[in-house]
Chains A and B, each alone.
Chain A
Amino acid sequence: MARTKHSYVIVIGCGRLGSFLANTLSKTGHSVVVIDINPNAFSALAAEAFSGFTVEGDATELAVLKQAKMDKADVVIGATHDENVNIMAAQIARSRFRVHKVLVRIEDPNKESYCKAVGIDYICPTALTAEKMMTALNDIR
């Protein structure tokens, strides 16, 4: 993100993670579009920080991704609670729209290998938490 001053970023999902990322990215000068199926979710976007756009719709539908102008996106982030939605949207972003940087949240560590195979960058909070816990347990021993 540091190399491009004003990236066009699409954030899928406007929950705690998605809205936090959208607010932060928008505040730092990036052009942000947030997609969520539930329009009430957009209330989590901070009025003083967020200067991007919102698109209401299902991010697994091509028409919604086109509406968000995914073809122009520099970065796509899958941040919904449903990792299948994140992965599917990310795959469309990679294969159909040739988005340079695609990053998703996945909960199931078993899906890491799949993400690796299709070239999607991922963060797995479950694996990260487990790792930290194991480290903490080792300290106790």
Chain B
Amino acid sequence: MKGNKVLIVDDEKNIRMTISQALADMDVETHSAVNGEEALAMLKDADFGLVLLDLRMPGMDGMEVLARLREDRPDIRVIIITAHGTIDCAVDAMKLGAVDFIQKPFTPDEIRHLVSKVIARETLEAEKNADYDSCLELAKRCVAERHFKAAAEHARKAIARDASRPEAFNFLGALCDVQEEKLEAQKHYRAALSLDPTYKPAQFNLSRSIGTKPDTGHGILFGEKGE
């Protein structure tokens, strides 16, 4: 990621203000755009490293911005802002390499934590002795670059480090989901749940995949530590 310049794209002033305030204490420079058109214009002119993007906006929506961004500037990382109860397009967003989601409403800590994590992920190196969490973060970075095979490889490496944790199995399931390999995805979710029946991301993903639970703002959950 080139710089610590962050662009907040949301039509709601409240959200733009909340995020700017939350990031004010961090070592990042925030700018705002009120719609997709303005965002693309700003992204052409300035060197942003991260975009926080609302999917639902009047005019050019977040998906279209994301698709254009992926064509012109695949190096820019994207965090998707979703509203509760909306999701269908989040799966498409993930196909376009957006792996980080935050659901409204969010606390300042949540947004700061996610932004720090996405920035830190860029400096991770694929070391031979990377630990479980680093392997998973590398896998997420590969998704952001749309290198799904490499992402799966890193997730498998994580499993090789510790086969008793559910996160990497859930991640592999999510990757299969994105690539529309539904049965394979369900197999991985079940593997995650056999290791930890209380692991919520896998519970949610499996329910959604087999159609017993309506979609919510999470889309596919890649899972975070402690979830």
A8 to B22, CA, bound (A): 12
Which parts of B1-24 form the interface with A (CB within 8 Å)?
13-15, 17-18, 21-22
Inter-chain CA distance A50–B18, complex, in Å, is 9
What is the bound-complex CA distance between A31 and B106, given in angstroms?
9
Report whether A53 and B14 are in contact in the complex, using a CB–CB cutoff of 8 Å. Answer: yes
Chain B residue nearest to A69 (CB atoms) is B105
A54 → B minimal CB distance (Å):
8
- Contact between chains at A31 and B14 (CB < 8 Å): no
B44: CB under 8 A from chain A?
Answer: no
Complex Cα spacing A67 to B103, Å: 9
B104 CB–A CB distance under 8 Å: yes
Contacts of A69 in B (CB 8 A): 105-107
In the complex with contacts A50-B14, A51-B14, A53-B18, A31-B84 CB distance below 8 A: no
Please, which residue of chain B has its CB at the minimum distance from the CB of A57? B84
The count of chain A contact residues (Cβ–Cβ below 8 Å) is: 15
**B14 → chain A, closest Cβ, in Å?**
5
Whether A31 pairs with B18 at a CB distance below 8 angstroms is: yes
Q: Which of B166-223 contact A (CB under 8 A)?
A: none
Flag if A68 contacts B105 (CB, 8 Å).
yes
- B110 close to A (CB within 8 Å): yes
Q: Which residues of B contact A52 (CB under 8 A)?
A: 14, 18, 105
**In chain A, what residue has the closest Cβ to B85?**
A67
Q: Which residues of B contact A55 (CB under 8 A)?
A: 84, 105
- State A51–B12 Cα separation when bound (angstroms): 9
* Cβ–Cβ contact A31 & B108, under 8 A: yes
Residues of chain B at the chain A interface (Cβ within 8 Å): 13-15, 17-18, 21-22, 84, 104-110
Can you list the 5 inter-chain pairs with the closest CB atoms, starting with the nearest? A53-B105, A51-B17, A8-B107, A33-B105, A67-B84
A-B contact pairs, 18 of them (CB 8 A): A8-B107, A8-B109, A29-B21, A31-B22, A31-B107, A31-B108, A47-B13, A51-B14, A51-B17, A51-B21, A52-B18, A52-B105, A53-B15, A53-B105, A69-B106, A69-B107, A72-B109, A72-B110
